A and B are shown apart, each in its own frame.
Chain A
Amino acid sequence: GENVEQHPSTLSVQEGDSAVIKCTYSDSASNYFPWYKQELGKRPQLIIDIRSNVGEKKDQRIAVTLNKTAKHFSLHITETQPEDSAVYFCAASDNNAGNMLTFGGGTRLMVKP
């Protein structure tokens, strides 16, 4: 089955700096890679996703890059703000095999004002 590793487990940045979170996956058949943000006690919320036919995707201050050859993908947050503080999860799935998501272990991002 799929295995997703996520690093770092915690990340502390100064407001305005950039943050990068990295994930690797094991199943070369995986073709969909979402990122979820989970604030304390709340539901995971999708913030951006990328499919295997795309190398990079941006949405305002958030971007995701995918390297299928190396089987890794990354989340980039620029100009971080205190409200970006949360736990971020990457995930991977093969949408030819039921869209089941395998999640990474999470990264706790702390943005210091």
Chain B
Amino acid sequence: EAGVAQSPRYKIIEKRQSVAFWCNPISGHATLYWYQQILGQGPKLLIQFQNNGVVDDSQLPKDRFSAERLKGVDSTLKIQPAKLEDSAVYLCASSLAGVNTQYFGPGTRLTVL
């Protein structure tokens, strides 16, 4: 079974630039999560989708972050404009609907200079 795919794996940008990350969940997984993992910390949930609807985005900084999952499969997370404190690994995870177990992708390491 193919795992969660993410791209790009690494991204370096200047502050105030824009960046987008892509995630392809495990086939059949209706629930998709985006997490932010700052160096030395545990992952922090940014947004959760069930199919193409948002379940929770209470920790998403909506003034600069946006996410979508238009067809209920792939998802993109965008930051515009980026700040220095956005430097982190952005992890995507997926799970079957109503099932606890989440499977993580390899992450995108973002460096904002």
Contact = CB atoms under 8 A, between A and B. Distances in A.
A89 B100 contact: no
Contacts of B44: 103
A17 B95 CA distance: 35
B84 to A, nearest CB: 22
Interface of B: 4, 31, 33, 40-45, 48, 55-56, 91, 95, 98-107
A106 B100 contact: no
The majority secondary structure among interface residues of chain B is loop
B87 to A, nearest CB: 15
Contacts of A100: 33, 45, 48, 55-56
16 contacts: A4-B42, A6-B42, A34-B100, A34-B102, A43-B4, A44-B104, A46-B101, A51-B100, A89-B43, A98-B48, A98-B55, A98-B56, A99-B31, A99-B48, A101-B45, A103-B42
Contact of A43 (B40, B56, B100, B106): B106
A59 to B, nearest CB: 14
B97 to A, nearest CB: 9
Contacts of B102: 34, 46, 99, 101
Contacts of B56: 98, 100
Most chain A beta-carbon neighbours within 10 Å: one of B4, B100, B105: B100
Nearest to B105: A43
